[in-house]
Amino acid sequence: MNFTWIPDKLSDFDWHKIGMSALNTLLYIAVILVVARIAYGLLIYLLRRMLVERKGKQLLDERKANTIFSLLRSMAFYVITFTVVVHILKRLFNFDTGTLLASASVLGVALGFGSQSLVKDMIGGFFILFEDQFSVGEYVQVGEFSGIVEETGIRATHLRDWGGELHIIPNGSITAVTNFSRGKMRALVDIQIPYDENLDHAREVMNSVCEVVSTEFGEKIIEAPTVQGIIQFGDLNVVLRIVGFTHPNEQWGLERELRRRIHSAFLEEGIRTPQLKILSFEDLKKGSPNDEQ
Protein backbone atom coordinates (compact mmCIF):
# COMPACT_ATOMS: atom_id res chain seq x y z
CA MET A 1 0.00 0.00 0.00
CA ASN A 2 1.50 3.26 -1.13
CA PHE A 3 0.83 6.28 1.08
CA THR A 4 1.66 9.02 -1.37
CA TRP A 5 0.45 11.71 0.98
CA ILE A 6 3.24 10.96 3.48
CA PRO A 7 6.33 13.01 2.66
CA ASP A 8 9.56 11.14 2.02
CA LYS A 9 11.44 13.12 4.60
CA LEU A 10 10.21 14.71 7.78
CA SER A 11 12.39 17.63 6.89
CA ASP A 12 9.92 18.49 4.14
CA PHE A 13 7.69 19.96 6.84
CA ASP A 14 8.15 23.62 7.66
CA TRP A 15 8.31 22.99 11.41
CA HIS A 16 9.00 26.61 12.21
CA LYS A 17 5.88 27.76 10.41
CA ILE A 18 3.78 25.00 11.98
CA GLY A 19 5.09 25.82 15.43
CA MET A 20 4.46 29.54 15.05
CA SER A 21 0.96 28.89 13.74
CA ALA A 22 0.15 26.57 16.65
CA LEU A 23 1.61 29.07 19.14
CA ASN A 24 -0.39 31.93 17.64
CA THR A 25 -3.56 29.84 17.77
CA LEU A 26 -2.99 28.93 21.42
CA LEU A 27 -2.29 32.56 22.30
CA TYR A 28 -5.40 33.66 20.41
CA ILE A 29 -7.57 31.14 22.26
CA ALA A 30 -6.02 32.14 25.59
CA VAL A 31 -6.63 35.84 24.90
CA ILE A 32 -10.23 35.14 23.85
CA LEU A 33 -10.88 33.18 27.06
CA VAL A 34 -9.31 35.87 29.24
CA VAL A 35 -11.22 38.67 27.50
CA ALA A 36 -14.47 36.71 27.78
CA ARG A 37 -13.86 36.08 31.49
CA ILE A 38 -13.10 39.76 32.11
CA ALA A 39 -16.11 40.88 30.05
CA TYR A 40 -18.41 38.52 31.94
CA GLY A 41 -17.06 39.64 35.32
CA LEU A 42 -17.37 43.32 34.38
CA LEU A 43 -20.90 42.84 33.07
CA ILE A 44 -21.96 41.02 36.25
CA TYR A 45 -20.35 43.76 38.34
CA LEU A 46 -22.26 46.49 36.48
CA LEU A 47 -25.54 44.58 36.67
CA ARG A 48 -25.04 44.00 40.39
CA ARG A 49 -24.32 47.68 40.99
CA MET A 50 -27.33 48.82 38.98
CA LEU A 51 -29.86 46.28 40.26
CA VAL A 52 -28.75 44.77 43.56
CA GLU A 53 -26.33 47.21 45.22
CA ARG A 54 -27.98 50.36 43.94
CA LYS A 55 -27.93 53.55 46.00
CA GLY A 56 -30.28 56.47 46.06
CA LYS A 57 -33.63 56.21 44.29
CA GLN A 58 -34.77 52.62 43.85
CA LEU A 59 -36.90 51.89 40.81
CA LEU A 60 -37.44 48.22 41.68
CA ASP A 61 -38.01 46.43 44.96
CA GLU A 62 -35.21 44.20 46.22
CA ARG A 63 -36.72 40.85 45.26
CA LYS A 64 -37.68 42.00 41.76
CA ALA A 65 -34.19 43.41 41.23
CA ASN A 66 -32.59 40.13 42.36
CA THR A 67 -34.81 38.18 39.97
CA ILE A 68 -33.92 40.36 36.96
CA PHE A 69 -30.23 40.20 37.91
CA SER A 70 -30.39 36.39 38.09
CA LEU A 71 -32.05 36.14 34.67
CA LEU A 72 -29.68 38.62 32.97
CA ARG A 73 -26.66 36.84 34.46
CA SER A 74 -27.87 33.56 32.98
CA MET A 75 -28.44 35.16 29.58
CA ALA A 76 -25.01 36.84 29.64
CA PHE A 77 -23.31 33.52 30.35
CA TYR A 78 -24.93 31.78 27.37
CA VAL A 79 -24.32 34.69 24.97
CA ILE A 80 -20.64 35.08 25.90
CA THR A 81 -20.06 31.32 25.79
CA PHE A 82 -21.62 31.09 22.32
CA THR A 83 -19.50 34.02 21.08
CA VAL A 84 -16.29 32.45 22.39
CA VAL A 85 -17.07 29.09 20.77
CA VAL A 86 -17.77 30.76 17.40
CA HIS A 87 -14.47 32.68 17.46
CA ILE A 88 -12.45 29.63 18.48
CA LEU A 89 -13.98 27.47 15.74
CA LYS A 90 -13.35 30.21 13.21
CA ARG A 91 -9.70 30.37 14.26
CA LEU A 92 -9.15 26.61 14.29
CA PHE A 93 -10.95 25.71 11.06
CA ASN A 94 -10.82 29.05 9.22
CA PHE A 95 -14.60 29.22 8.97
CA ASP A 96 -16.36 32.28 7.69
CA THR A 97 -18.55 33.64 10.48
CA GLY A 98 -21.55 34.11 8.20
CA THR A 99 -21.22 30.57 6.87
CA LEU A 100 -20.83 29.23 10.39
CA LEU A 101 -23.93 31.05 11.63
CA ALA A 102 -25.90 29.89 8.59
CA SER A 103 -24.80 26.31 9.25
CA ALA A 104 -25.78 26.73 12.88
CA SER A 105 -29.20 27.94 11.78
CA VAL A 106 -29.68 24.93 9.53
CA LEU A 107 -28.48 22.65 12.29
CA GLY A 108 -30.82 24.38 14.73
CA VAL A 109 -33.78 23.73 12.45
CA ALA A 110 -32.72 20.11 12.07
CA LEU A 111 -32.48 19.71 15.81
CA GLY A 112 -35.58 21.77 16.47
CA PHE A 113 -37.78 18.85 17.35
CA GLY A 114 -35.17 17.52 19.74
CA SER A 115 -34.70 20.88 21.47
CA GLN A 116 -38.35 21.68 22.07
CA SER A 117 -37.93 21.25 25.82
CA LEU A 118 -35.08 23.79 25.86
CA VAL A 119 -37.13 26.35 23.96
CA LYS A 120 -40.07 25.65 26.26
CA ASP A 121 -37.87 26.26 29.30
CA MET A 122 -36.62 29.58 27.92
CA ILE A 123 -40.11 30.80 27.06
CA GLY A 124 -41.32 29.72 30.49
CA GLY A 125 -38.52 31.71 32.12
CA PHE A 126 -39.54 34.90 30.31
CA PHE A 127 -43.20 34.45 31.27
CA ILE A 128 -42.23 33.90 34.91
CA LEU A 129 -40.33 37.18 34.86
CA PHE A 130 -42.83 39.34 33.00
CA GLU A 131 -45.88 37.95 34.79
CA ASP A 132 -44.06 38.37 38.10
CA GLN A 133 -45.11 34.92 39.31
CA PHE A 134 -42.37 34.88 41.96
CA SER A 135 -39.09 36.57 42.78
CA VAL A 136 -35.75 35.64 44.28
CA GLY A 137 -36.06 35.34 48.06
CA GLU A 138 -39.74 34.36 48.12
CA TYR A 139 -41.09 31.12 49.54
CA VAL A 140 -43.06 29.20 46.90
CA GLN A 141 -44.37 25.75 46.10
CA VAL A 142 -43.92 24.37 42.59
CA GLY A 143 -45.57 21.00 42.12
CA GLU A 144 -44.23 18.66 44.80
CA PHE A 145 -41.31 20.95 45.69
CA SER A 146 -41.31 23.98 47.97
CA GLY A 147 -38.63 26.34 49.22
CA ILE A 148 -36.97 29.73 48.94
CA VAL A 149 -36.26 30.90 45.37
CA GLU A 150 -32.47 31.23 45.09
CA GLU A 151 -32.17 31.81 41.36
CA THR A 152 -34.41 32.25 38.35
CA GLY A 153 -32.39 31.51 35.23
CA ILE A 154 -33.30 31.51 31.59
CA ARG A 155 -33.68 27.71 31.67
CA ALA A 156 -34.34 26.63 35.26
CA THR A 157 -35.42 27.85 38.69
CA HIS A 158 -33.53 26.91 41.86
CA LEU A 159 -35.45 26.27 45.09
CA ARG A 160 -33.80 25.70 48.48
CA ASP A 161 -36.11 23.90 50.89
CA TRP A 162 -35.99 23.94 54.70
CA GLY A 163 -33.86 20.80 54.82
CA GLY A 164 -31.14 22.43 52.71
CA GLU A 165 -31.81 20.44 49.55
CA LEU A 166 -31.55 22.37 46.29
CA HIS A 167 -34.31 21.64 43.75
CA ILE A 168 -33.52 22.60 40.13
CA ILE A 169 -36.80 22.82 38.22
CA PRO A 170 -36.95 23.44 34.44
CA ASN A 171 -39.05 26.52 33.74
CA GLY A 172 -41.04 24.70 31.08
CA SER A 173 -42.37 22.22 33.65
CA ILE A 174 -43.70 24.93 35.97
CA THR A 175 -47.45 24.88 35.40
CA ALA A 176 -48.76 26.00 38.81
CA VAL A 177 -47.11 28.07 41.52
CA THR A 178 -48.24 28.73 45.09
CA ASN A 179 -46.56 31.88 46.40
CA PHE A 180 -46.44 32.18 50.20
CA SER A 181 -44.73 35.58 50.15
CA ARG A 182 -47.38 37.84 48.64
CA GLY A 183 -49.91 39.84 50.65
CA LYS A 184 -50.78 39.18 54.28
CA MET A 185 -50.17 35.71 55.66
CA ARG A 186 -52.30 33.95 58.27
CA ALA A 187 -50.88 32.79 61.58
CA LEU A 188 -53.07 30.06 63.07
CA VAL A 189 -52.69 28.40 66.49
CA ASP A 190 -55.07 25.78 67.92
CA ILE A 191 -54.99 25.19 71.68
CA GLN A 192 -56.63 22.16 73.29
CA ILE A 193 -58.28 22.66 76.69
CA PRO A 194 -59.68 19.78 78.82
CA TYR A 195 -63.45 19.84 79.37
CA ASP A 196 -63.12 20.22 83.15
CA GLU A 197 -61.09 23.46 82.85
CA ASN A 198 -62.60 26.95 83.00
CA LEU A 199 -62.80 27.92 79.34
CA ASP A 200 -63.54 31.59 80.06
CA HIS A 201 -60.44 31.89 82.21
CA ALA A 202 -58.33 30.10 79.58
CA ARG A 203 -59.62 32.44 76.91
CA GLU A 204 -58.78 35.52 79.01
CA VAL A 205 -55.22 34.27 79.50
CA MET A 206 -54.86 33.61 75.76
CA ASN A 207 -56.17 37.10 74.91
CA SER A 208 -53.64 38.65 77.30
CA VAL A 209 -50.83 36.71 75.63
CA CYS A 210 -52.03 37.85 72.18
CA GLU A 211 -51.90 41.50 73.26
CA VAL A 212 -48.35 41.19 74.62
CA VAL A 213 -47.04 39.32 71.58
CA SER A 214 -48.71 41.80 69.19
CA THR A 215 -46.90 44.68 70.88
CA GLU A 216 -43.52 42.94 70.70
CA PHE A 217 -43.87 41.91 67.04
CA GLY A 218 -44.77 45.48 66.09
CA GLU A 219 -44.64 46.21 62.36
CA LYS A 220 -44.40 42.51 61.46
CA ILE A 221 -48.10 42.15 62.27
CA ILE A 222 -50.83 43.40 59.94
CA GLU A 223 -53.81 42.23 62.02
CA ALA A 224 -53.24 41.43 65.68
CA PRO A 225 -53.88 37.81 66.73
CA THR A 226 -57.15 37.24 68.56
CA VAL A 227 -58.95 34.25 70.07
CA GLN A 228 -61.69 33.26 67.64
CA GLY A 229 -63.41 30.93 70.10
CA ILE A 230 -64.26 27.24 70.16
CA ILE A 231 -63.87 25.56 66.79
CA GLN A 232 -64.14 21.91 67.78
CA PHE A 233 -65.35 19.56 70.51
CA GLY A 234 -62.97 16.62 70.64
CA ASP A 235 -63.26 13.36 72.52
CA LEU A 236 -61.43 14.71 75.57
CA ASN A 237 -60.73 18.38 74.83
CA VAL A 238 -62.14 21.62 73.49
CA VAL A 239 -60.14 23.37 70.76
CA LEU A 240 -59.72 27.17 70.89
CA ARG A 241 -58.29 28.90 67.83
CA ILE A 242 -56.13 32.02 67.53
CA VAL A 243 -55.87 33.80 64.17
CA GLY A 244 -53.70 36.75 63.16
CA PHE A 245 -52.14 38.13 59.98
CA THR A 246 -48.52 39.10 59.37
CA HIS A 247 -46.24 40.21 56.60
CA PRO A 248 -44.88 37.38 54.38
CA ASN A 249 -42.66 34.79 56.08
CA GLU A 250 -43.37 36.19 59.55
CA GLN A 251 -46.38 33.99 60.34
CA TRP A 252 -44.35 31.00 61.52
CA GLY A 253 -42.41 33.05 64.04
CA LEU A 254 -45.64 34.49 65.42
CA GLU A 255 -47.18 31.01 65.75
CA ARG A 256 -44.14 29.69 67.63
CA GLU A 257 -44.09 32.65 70.00
CA LEU A 258 -47.81 32.37 70.74
CA ARG A 259 -47.50 28.68 71.61
CA ARG A 260 -44.51 29.32 73.87
CA ARG A 261 -46.16 32.23 75.70
CA ILE A 262 -49.48 30.43 76.12
CA HIS A 263 -47.75 27.37 77.55
CA SER A 264 -45.90 29.51 80.10
CA ALA A 265 -49.05 31.49 80.99
CA PHE A 266 -51.08 28.32 81.48
CA LEU A 267 -48.44 26.97 83.86
CA GLU A 268 -48.54 30.18 85.91
CA GLU A 269 -52.36 30.20 86.04
CA GLY A 270 -52.64 26.50 86.80
CA ILE A 271 -54.54 25.73 83.63
CA ARG A 272 -54.01 22.14 82.56
CA THR A 273 -53.38 21.10 78.98
CA PRO A 274 -53.79 17.62 77.46
CA GLN A 275 -51.00 15.27 78.45
CA LEU A 276 -49.85 12.17 76.65
CA LYS A 277 -49.84 9.19 78.98
CA ILE A 278 -46.73 7.09 78.49
CA LEU A 279 -47.49 3.43 79.19
CA SER A 280 -44.89 1.32 80.93
CA PHE A 281 -43.96 -2.19 79.89
CA GLU A 282 -46.10 -3.61 82.72
CA ASP A 283 -49.12 -1.58 81.53
CA LEU A 284 -48.71 -2.88 78.01
CA LYS A 285 -48.32 -6.41 79.31
CA LYS A 286 -51.48 -6.17 81.39
CA GLY A 287 -53.45 -4.94 78.41
CA SER A 288 -52.21 -7.55 75.95
CA PRO A 289 -54.75 -10.03 74.47
CA ASN A 290 -52.74 -12.99 75.75
CA ASP A 291 -53.31 -11.91 79.35
CA GLU A 292 -57.06 -11.63 78.83
CA GLN A 293 -57.14 -15.19 77.60
Q: What is the mean pLDDT of each run of 10 residues along the chain (293 residues)?
A: 49 64 82 87 81 57 69 80 81 66 55 61 77 84 89 85 89 86 89 90 93 89 91 88 91 92 92 65 50 43
CATH assignment, 185-269: 3.30.70.100
Q: Where are the alpha helices (DSSP H) in 241-280?
A: 251-269
The pLDDT value recorded for residue 227 is: 93
- Put simply, whether the predicted model's pTM sits higher than 0.75 gets the answer no
* H or E segment to which residue 81 belongs: helix 62-93
The pLDDT value recorded for residue 204 is: 93
Name the residue among 171, 174, 150, 152 with its Cα closest to residue 160.
150
How close are the terminal C-alpha atoms of the chain, in Å?
A: 98
Rounded CA gap, 266 and 88, in Å?
Answer: 74
The pLDDT value recorded for residue 291 is: 46
Q: Specify the CATH class of 123-179 in words.
A: mainly beta
CA distances from 54 to 35, 41, 51, 252, 260 (A): 26, 18, 6, 31, 40
Name beta bridge partners: 189.
242
Name the residue among 281, 265, 263, 248 with its Cα closest to residue 135.
248
The pLDDT value recorded for residue 95 is: 63
The pLDDT value recorded for residue 59 is: 54
Rounded CA gap, 7 and 13, in Å?
Answer: 8
Domain extents in the chain: 15-100, 123-179, 185-269
